[in-house]
Amino acid sequence: MSLPIQHRPRIAEPGHRSLRAYSFDPSLSLRLDTVAINRLTYQVDWESVTPGPVGEYLEVLDYDPTVRRFYLPVDLNDRNLLAQHGLEPSESNPQFHQQMVYAVAMTTIKNFEKALGRKIQWSPRRTLDGPGYEEYVAQLRIYPHAMRDANAYYSPLKKAILFGYFSSTPADDTQQMPDSLVFTCLSHDIIAHEVTHAILDGIYTHYNEPTNPDVLAFHEAFADIVALFQHFTFPEVLKHQIARTRGDLSAQNLLGELAQQFGTAIGGYGSLRDAIGRQDPNTQQWRPLEPNSDEYRQQTEPHARGSILVAAVFEAFTSIYKVRIADLLRIASGGSGILAQGELHPDLVNRLADEAAKAANHVLGMCIRALDYCPPVDITFGDYLRAIITADVDSVRDDRYEYRLAFIDAFRRRGIYPQGIKTLSVESLRLPGIGTIAEYNSDSASQKVLTKLIGRLREYAIGIKYENDRAKIDAFTRNFIGKLRKEETGETEGIHQYISEQFATSKEFTSFTGIAFVLADSLHAAVVHQTTYSSRPSFQVQNLRLVSRSGPDGLQINHVVFCLVQRSGVVFREGKVVGHYNLKEGIRTNPGDTEQRMEFRGGCTLILDLDTLSLKYVVNRPLLNMQVWEQSGGEIAVLDTTRAERQYRYTRQGQHHHHNAYTQYFGQQVQHLSEPFAFLHQH
């Protein structure tokens, strides 16, 4: 008897696709001391791909406009290729380039998804001005050979990453052949860096607007942190280094050092790590740099400022690593903690590498998770520190390795503090809990509005929880936000309409969100932008997401997070706020006008706990002057002129503070930047 074919054993889809690639970039394969660690087999989550590779998230399109040619796309399903873990790493085969870009980009995406506990989405395409006119973008496009330049950047306009190639003229031509071709798409760090820019744009699109010196610096630093720590999560790379430095990752740190050296071929990227340490010109030894608490106040150039943040996170990582391996070192040294001369035992090397990779994974996760606790506009490094601490308190109850302290200490040493807190500790840094609105203020009507909203969001959570199709998640979310009320039932409106109508019932909602929902006095109506079809102040609901993840000690979080963003058209004369304009009229004024215009944003991130049905945290950057609002009992709504004027000064000054000659000639005015990242790596 023979079984019908459908009952015969079938081979399940593999869990992952193995793809060979460089762990750094090709130049390290030319050095004897690093060649061993420069090959890595990336384990990319399995997905169905077509030649390109084109998958769910990415569309690698290898068109080279400089020669008007396509390069043949790699077919990752080719059976010969599958059987040997992808193409052999090679600079001269563009199909390998496509493979590597895909492998590293997917690894980065998956690291984000793992940490965030949800699928990532690319930032939508804005087709017309105004809210709502957005188009879903399923795949980020990647051009591995887009230009002949030592540059690579994420273009928010095209939802694409453009990688360049160039002929190198290295500082040290013993390390590289002069005039050899260098491909930016073969560098793990550049790929991870640029993909991170794209992912961050999908979460907080307003972080592309440099409203204070920290914003672009944050974008750069965060991208670099992800690239850097992604390296550390590969134990293969770490083992080699630990054996070489005998376990001391901070004194002589290859990863920090390598990360910098890799700048020999491609500038700009390594420079963010300059604050970690540098080579002593006399001894040629690499040394960590002592932090200076004035740096944060003094540096304004995005790279220099970003490097402070990178160094702070890096120091936190090394502190954590040291704590984690203290016991191993004691065991290996018979209790003294001082290792004997000579090479380390390979078992010890393996264990140390495991600990380092684990610590790196944790740090990477902490840094990514913190994104859910950041304000939607105008971020500062201090906000980010608070977000890191709060996110960690939420997901890890017992911080037995003192991760949070390590972060606080490293930030403190560089003079990075959030505004308005009196002491630095986990308790003071953690965002203040709002709890239920009843605790905040015993107005039961408001509590009802909020409870009903959370009930709604629970429906959203249930609706979205088991949906894996990103396009469907997006459509569902959009509908959930923007749907208008059905006349007959009067029930099923989207949360935008709900918030707009219900939050207008009490001044309390303005008090804790900093968003104006109602402007009683027509005198103040001009402060906040209004659309033509509503009598209420306009605001956007952005970035609604379900955060469902469990921490290492089993702590389960079920949050729904969303942001509210509000705009105001502000008119300035001689640096002072003198009035408002209708945003529809546009930002441009005539040359010679004494008045200038600026679009000014405020917003808040609301974190709601579905388990306790409470509003857990609010992170806000109000448009309004909240002090005046509170003192007047919610009667007087005026702009936060201090922040508006600070932003105005910063953006105007920016015109005279060019990062480099390239921005001097070709940059746009900071207040309307179309391609914020194109110039950052130009020198």
Partner 1 sequence: MSPAVPTTRVDVRMYCLGTGDCFVLKFFAQEELQFTMLIDCGSCMGTRADFLPYIENLVDYVEGKLDLLVITHEHQDHVNGFDKCLEEFEQLEIGEAWFAWTEDPDDPQGRAQDLLQKRQKMRLGLRNAITQLHTNRGAIHAEQTNLKANEQALLALDAFLDGMDTLGAVNLDEALPAAGGLAGMRKIKQLLKNKQVRTRYLLPGASLPMPQVPGVRFHVLGPPLDKAHIFADGKEGRDTHPRHTTPGEGILAMNSFLTIDGDISPGDLPFSDKYAVGAQGLVQSELDHSPAESAVYLSQARDLFDRYAAFDNKWRDIEQEWLYTAGSLAIRLDSHINNTSLALAIEIGTGGPVLLLPGDAEYANWESWHLIEKWNGTGPNPKHFVTDLLSRTVFYKVSHHLSFNGTPLDKGIQLLNNPDLAVMVPLDLRRISSRWRTTMPNYRLLRDLMERSQGKCIIMDEIEIIPRPSAQYDLTTLGEARYRVITKDGQTLAKQYTVFV
CA atoms in the 13 A half-sphere facing the CB of 431: 28
What does the alpha-carbon distance between residue 520 and residue 577 come to, in Å, rounded to a whole number?
22
Torsion angle of alpha carbons 270, 272, 273, 277, nearest 10°? 110
Taking the complex as a whole, the smallest distance from the CB of residue 60 to partner 1 amounts, in Å, to: 9
Strands 140-147 and 58-60, bridge-based pairing? parallel
Cα-Cα-Cα-Cα dihedral sign, residues 107, 108, 111, 116: negative
What does the alpha-carbon distance between residue 658 and residue 273 come to, in Å, rounded to a whole number?
21
Among residues 18, 41, 45, 73, which is the contact residue for partner 1, using CB under 8 A? 73
Of 178 and 554, nearer to partner 1 (C-beta) is 178
Taking the complex as a whole, the smallest distance from the CB of residue 150 to partner 1 amounts, in Å, to: 5
How many C-beta atoms lie closer than 10 Å to residue 201's C-beta?
A: 22
162 is a contact residue toward partner 1 (CB under 8 A): yes
What does the alpha-carbon distance between residue 527 and residue 364 come to, in Å, rounded to a whole number?
40
67 is a contact residue toward partner 1 (CB under 8 A): yes
What does the alpha-carbon distance between residue 214 and residue 299 come to, in Å, rounded to a whole number?
10
Which of 266, 86, 122 has its CA nearest to residue 191? 266
Of 151 and 447, nearer to partner 1 (C-beta) is 151
65 is a contact residue toward partner 1 (CB under 8 A): yes
Of 157 and 520, nearer to partner 1 (C-beta) is 157
Among residues 2, 6, 127, 594, which is the contact residue for partner 1, using CB under 8 A? 127
Of 127 and 419, nearer to partner 1 (C-beta) is 127
Among residues 16, 126, 287, 485, which is the contact residue for partner 1, using CB under 8 A? 126
Please give the structure tokens belonging to residue 222: 């965060």
300 is a contact residue toward partner 1 (CB under 8 A): no
Alpha-carbon Rg for the chain, nearest whole angstrom, is 26
584 is a contact residue toward partner 1 (CB under 8 A): no
- Under DSSP, is residue 318 helix (H, G, I), strand (E, B) or coil? helix
Among residues 267, 433, 579, 634, which is the contact residue for partner 1, using CB under 8 A? 267
Q: Interface mask (CB under 8 A) for partner 1, residues 84-123, using x and -?
A: --------xxxx----------------------------
Taking the complex as a whole, the smallest distance from the CB of residue 663 to partner 1 amounts, in Å, to: 9
Secondary structure element (H or E) that encloses residue 152, with its range = strand 152-155
Which of 656, 149, 217, 235 has its CA nearest to residue 414? 217
Of 142 and 385, nearer to partner 1 (C-beta) is 142
599 is a contact residue toward partner 1 (CB under 8 A): no
Of 162 and 228, nearer to partner 1 (C-beta) is 162
128 is a contact residue toward partner 1 (CB under 8 A): yes
Please give the structure tokens belonging to residue 303: 């790279």
Q: Interface mask (CB under 8 A) for partner 1, residues 44-63, using x and -?
A: ------xxx-x----x-x-x
678 is a contact residue toward partner 1 (CB under 8 A): yes
Q: Which residues pair with 556 in a beta bridge?
A: 550
652 is a contact residue toward partner 1 (CB under 8 A): no
Among residues 4, 9, 15, 178, which is the contact residue for partner 1, using CB under 8 A? 178
Of 388 and 565, nearer to partner 1 (C-beta) is 565
Region near partner 1 per CB under 8 A, out of 28-36, 223-231, 387-395, 673-681:
673-681
Residue with tokens 């033509």: 532
Of 61 and 325, nearer to partner 1 (C-beta) is 61
664 is a contact residue toward partner 1 (CB under 8 A): yes
167 is a contact residue toward partner 1 (CB under 8 A): yes
Region near partner 1 per CB under 8 A, out of 239-247, 565-573, 641-649, 674-682:
674-682
Of 165 and 286, nearer to partner 1 (C-beta) is 165
666 is a contact residue toward partner 1 (CB under 8 A): yes
Secondary structure element (H or E) that encloses residue 356, with its range = helix 346-369
Taking the complex as a whole, the smallest distance from the CB of residue 306 to partner 1 amounts, in Å, to: 14
Per-residue DSSP letter, 492: -
Region near partner 1 per CB under 8 A, out of 7-15, 170-178, 205-213, 237-245:
170-178
Which of 637, 643, 639, 565 has its CA nearest to residue 605? 565
Which of 185, 239, 190 has its CA nearest to residue 37? 239
Q: Which residues pair with 16 in a beta bridge?
A: 45
Site for partner 1 in 129-148 (CB under 8 A): 129, 133, 141, 143, 145-148
Of 274 and 354, nearer to partner 1 (C-beta) is 274
193 is a contact residue toward partner 1 (CB under 8 A): no
- Find out whether 242 and 408 touch, Cβ atoms under 8 Å: no
Taking the complex as a whole, the smallest distance from the CB of residue 96 to partner 1 amounts, in Å, to: 10
What does the alpha-carbon distance between residue 434 and residue 127 come to, in Å, rounded to a whole number?
37
78 is a contact residue toward partner 1 (CB under 8 A): yes
- Find out whether 672 and 655 touch, Cβ atoms under 8 Å: no
Taking the complex as a whole, the smallest distance from the CB of residue 17 to partner 1 amounts, in Å, to: 17
Of 502 and 542, nearer to partner 1 (C-beta) is 542
Query: N- to C-terminal Cα distance for the chain?
Result: 74
Which of 193, 194, 214, 215 has its CA nearest to residue 204? 215
252 is a contact residue toward partner 1 (CB under 8 A): no
Of 130 and 432, nearer to partner 1 (C-beta) is 130
10 is a contact residue toward partner 1 (CB under 8 A): no
Region near partner 1 per CB under 8 A, out of 396-404, 476-484, 590-598, 668-676:
668-676
Taking the complex as a whole, the smallest distance from the CB of residue 276 to partner 1 amounts, in Å, to: 13
Per-residue DSSP letter, 153: E
How many C-beta atoms lie closer than 10 Å to residue 220's C-beta?
A: 27
DSSP letters of 532-561? Answer: TT-SSBP-EEEEEEEEEEE-TTS-EEEEEE
Of 149 and 645, nearer to partner 1 (C-beta) is 149
Taking the complex as a whole, the smallest distance from the CB of residue 674 to partner 1 amounts, in Å, to: 4
Instruction: Please give the C-alpha separations between residue 139 and each of 55, 413, 470, 471, 497, in angstroms, as whole numbers.
Output: 8, 41, 10, 10, 30
678 burial type by CB count under 10 A (0-12 exposed, 13-18 middle, 19+ buried) = buried
Among residues 45, 113, 248, 274, which is the contact residue for partner 1, using CB under 8 A? 274
Of 19 and 266, nearer to partner 1 (C-beta) is 266
64 is a contact residue toward partner 1 (CB under 8 A): yes
Of 202 and 235, nearer to partner 1 (C-beta) is 202
Among residues 28, 105, 106, 150, which is the contact residue for partner 1, using CB under 8 A? 150
**All residues at 6 or more sequence positions from 252 whose CB lies less than 8 Å from its CB, including other chains:** 244, 245, 285, 286
Region near partner 1 per CB under 8 A, out of 15-23, 230-238, 324-332, 671-679:
671-679
How many C-beta atoms lie closer than 10 Å to residue 232's C-beta?
A: 24
- Find out whether 122 and 140 touch, Cβ atoms under 8 Å: yes
